[in-house]
C-alpha cells in the first residue's frame, strides 16, 4: 500500500516568511503523478501544483514544487495573508498486474498565522 505522509502537521509562520511543506511517498513515483492542493474552509480544494513542479493556471510564482526521490516539496517563497490554508499532496497510483489503481491524499498540512 502506498502512503503519503505530510509534514509538519501544522506550520505556524508569519506573512512574508518562507514556507516549506513536505510530502513523502513510500515508493518512487513519476513526477507527473504528484499534485498539491490548497484548501480553505467552506471552499473547494484549489489546484496549486501538478506534475510535481508545474504551477496551475493563475497560481502566483511564489508557489513552487519539487521532487527528489520519494520526497515531494511545496515551497511558498514569501507568504501572503491569503496563503494560510490546509495543503494536501496527492499521488496517482498506476495499476500493476491488476492491483489497486487510483489516487491517494496525504493527511494535510495546516499553514497557520503565527
Partner 1 sequence: QVQLQESGPGLVKPSGTLSLSCAVSGASIGSDDYYSWVRQPPGKGLEWIGQIYQSGSTRYCPSLQSRVAISIDKSKNQLSLQLTSVTAADTAVYYCARHSGFSFPTWGQGTLVTVSS
Residues of the shown chain interacting with partner 1 in the complex, contacts defined by CB under 8 A = 32-33, 35, 37, 39, 43-47, 50-51, 56-57, 86, 88, 90, 92, 100-108
CB of 100 to partner 1, least distance (A): 6
Instruction: Name which of 51 and 77 has its Cβ closer to partner 1.
Output: 51
Closest CA to 57 of 49, 45, 69: 49
**Side-chain-facing half-sphere of 56: CA atoms under 13 Å:** 11
Q: Is 78 or 84 the residue whose CB approaches partner 1 more closely? A: 84
Cβ partners under 8 Å of residue 98, min gap 6 = none
Could you give the count of Cα atoms lying within 13 Å of 47 in the half-sphere of its Cβ?
Answer: 12
Residue placing its CB nearer to partner 1 in the complex, 9 or 16: 9
Give the pairing type, strands 10-13 and 109-113. Answer: parallel
Backbone angles phi, psi at 90, to 5 degrees: -140, 140
Nearest distance from C-beta of residue 16 to partner 1, angstroms = 28
Kindly state the smallest distance separating residue 35's Cβ from partner 1, in Å: 4
Q: Pick between residue 48 and residue 79 the one whose CB is nearest to partner 1.
A: 48
Cβ 33 to partner 1 shortest distance, Å: 5
Amino acid at each position: 500500500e502506498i502512503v503519503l505522509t505530510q509534514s509538519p502537521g501544522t506550520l505556524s509562520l508569519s506573512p512574508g516568511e518562507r514556507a516549506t511543506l513536505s510530502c513523502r511517498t513510500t515508493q518512487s513515483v513519476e513526477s507527473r503523478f504528484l499534485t498539491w492542493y490548497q484548501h480553505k474552509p467552506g471552499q473547494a480544494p484549489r489546484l496549486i501544483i501538478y506534475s510535481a513542479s508545474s504551477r496551475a493556471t493563475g497560481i502566483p510564482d511564489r508557489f513552487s514544487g519539487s521532487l527528489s526521490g520519494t520526497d515531494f516539496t511545496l515551497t511558498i517563497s514569501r507568504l501572503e495573508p491569503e496563503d494560510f490554508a490546509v495543503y494536501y499532496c496527492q499521488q496517482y497510483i498506476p495499476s500493476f498486474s491488476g492491483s489497486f489503481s487510483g489516487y491517494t491524499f496525504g493527511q494535510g498540512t495546516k499553514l497557520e498565522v503565527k
